[in-house]
Amino acid sequence: MEAHPPEPSNSVEALRSIEEEERKVKNAQGSAVKGSSDADPDDPVCATWARKEILGAKGSALATKTIFSHCFVTRWSLGFHAAYAMLMLFLAITVQVAVPMIIIATRQPISSTGSCPNKSSAETKIIGFTLSLYFVVQTISLCINKLRGLGFLHMFVELGFARSLFIKLAIFSQFCGMAAAGGAQFMLFIGNANGAFVVLVLQSLAMTFCLTVDQNIVGHQIGSWTQARLSALSEPSLLNDGIGIGREGGSIPTSSFDKIRLLVLGEKVVLATIITTGAGWIIAVTYCM
């Protein structure tokens, strides 16, 4: 008969128990992500980690409620829903990707200053550094929340090839938008380094808005409707084309386990890339202002 640890008698023991459980889960995560032979979907600890990650990714998908996820589940027939979805999709892609790319292509902000004049005051450089750091933090948050949710929908919610194109488009748009907004903000900061400080703040907020426009244009009523549909379509028993994620305390299907391992590994690679690139970008912006 399996022995269970004694129940904690006070808050300190409860905290230690929680930390011990987190340590086991962290070890399981390390084994799973690294592809260790110890990562076994039949192992209760590994299975618990995988289910926790899957449900966490589901939570991200339900919380973000982008126009892309709305298009993923909406009714595609002649009527308001389809017209609204296509119009908002056009606006999201235009503002998120096209506008920053036009700024980069025209090079209008730096046409008279050059790419790296390095002539601004120390105060301006400090403000530029702070706003650039904020932009990178927002981008990291975008990766952790929105991209994780989109990855979950791509891997675990099967609604056919046509609808899956909206999720693929969303992921592609996010990466293009992050790169374009970063390049546009670099040019805007360089071109307006000797202007009023409030201009730098407004430009930073504008580029941050470009990263989240696909969320901001979804109204509360449409967002709630989308969330309810996503929740119904992502019940644990329906995930991974009906394979599911197993029962709490038991094993998890190998296919579901492999998919969440791939999703978590991909997220870590993207985060490492954003952090590395972001650090270099912050230094370049601060120096060239």
For residue 201, the model assigns a pLDDT of 85
DSSP 242: T
Q: Average pLDDT over the chain, rounded to whole?
A: 85
For residue 97, the model assigns a pLDDT of 92
Return the half-sphere exposure (C-beta side, CA atoms, 13 A cut-off) of residue 184. Answer: 27
List Cβ neighbours of 204 (8 Å cut-off, separation of 6 or more): 131, 132, 134, 135, 185
pLDDT digits (tens, 9 = 90+) for 78-137: 777 788 889 999 999 999 999 999 988 988 778 777 778 888 888 888 888 998 999 899
For residue 1, the model assigns a pLDDT of 42
For residue 263, the model assigns a pLDDT of 92
d(CA 160, CA 2): 44
List Cβ neighbours of 219 (8 Å cut-off, separation of 6 or more): none
Torsion of CA 27, 32, 38, 40, to 10 degrees: 120
For residue 25, the model assigns a pLDDT of 63
pTM > 0.85: no
CA distances from 281 to 47, 168, 184 (A): 39, 27, 12
pLDDT digits (tens, 9 = 90+) for 150-187: 999 999 999 989 999 999 999 999 999 999 999 998 88
Over range 225-239, report the average pLDDT: 91
Higher-scoring residue by pLDDT: 279, 18: 279
